[in-house]
Amino acid sequence: MKKILKKIMCIIRNIMHKTKIYSTKADLKAKYGKYVMISENTYISKNTEIGDYSYVNSNSSIENATIGKYCSISSGVYISPYNHKREYISTSPYNRYYNSETKRVNIGHDVLISLNVIILEGVQIGNGAIIGAGAIVTRDVNPYEVVGGVPAKHIRYRFSKEKIEYLQNLKWWDKEPLLIKKNKAFFNNESDIFDDKII
């Protein structure tokens, strides 16, 4: 009965707020931007924020995180799962006399997080970064950096230093969607010009 009620609440929320939340495990108190999609069996905690046009595929879990716009998050991704504290006398949850909330994860705009990635608490991931499949991210990731492995390590940068600086300053993710659509050549890397005078 609870699951049916939650599905109805998701449908109502989707109509009212232009979202596509299909998971009954997604907390409706979380902050979802326009056209956000959450696939089935994905857990979203109430202290999570997900920006416009981002999506999370099935069987993922996101807690205490801020996620930017246009992010692509694959299946089996765990963001900010609780870590047992090795510096405490006991790692058992039965001796939990401490604050169990994780440190917040901040993920920029247009980030690609591939299949079965784990991002540990407190990690900051810059705009345009790519996290390779199966990676465990234990440290911050720079804008437009590609990382992979266990633990995740630097592989390369997607673009030159100059182009990264240009994209960071451009902040295309904050532009009107129609303007973004009209700059198809720019996004297909066929042009270096983003014409913000189209509209």
Q: Where in the chain do CATH 2.160.10.10 domains reside? A: 2-83+100-158
Q: Which residue shows structure tokens 């939340």?
A: 21
Amino acid 49: pLDDT: 98
User: pLDDT tens, 156-183?
Assistant: 999 999 999 999 999 999 999 988 889 9
- Residue 84: is its pLDDT beyond 70? no
Q: Annotate 114-161 with DSSP letters as a single string.
A: -TT-EE-TT-EE-TT-EE-TT-EE-S-B-TTEEEETTTTEEEEESS-H
The distance from CA 150 to its chain's CA centroid, rounded to whole angstroms, is: 20
Distance CA 67, CA 37 (A): 13
Residue 97, helix vs strand vs coil: coil
Query: Which CATH code for domain 2-83+100-158?
Result: 2.160.10.10
Distance CA 66, CA 105 (A): 6
- Residue 63: is its pLDDT beyond 90? yes
Residue 176, helix vs strand vs coil: coil
Query: Which run of H or E residues covers position 27?
Result: none
Do 41 and 61 meet the contact criterion of CB atoms below 8 Å apart?
no
- Residue 39: is its pLDDT beyond 60? yes
Residue 89, helix vs strand vs coil: coil
Amino acid 116: pLDDT: 98
- Residue 130: is its pLDDT beyond 70? yes
Q: Is 84 a catalytic residue?
A: yes
Catalytic residue among 17, 84, 109, 154: 84
Share of the chain above pLDDT 70, in %: 86
pTM exceeds cut of 0.95: no
Q: Which residue shows structure tokens 């099935």?
A: 58
- Residue 101: is its pLDDT beyond 80? no
| Band (15; pLDDT cuts 50, 70, 90) | confident
**DSSP bridge partners of 79:** 62, 119
Please name the residues in contact with 134: beta carbons below 8 A apart, sequence gap of 6 or more: 114, 115, 116, 117, 148, 150
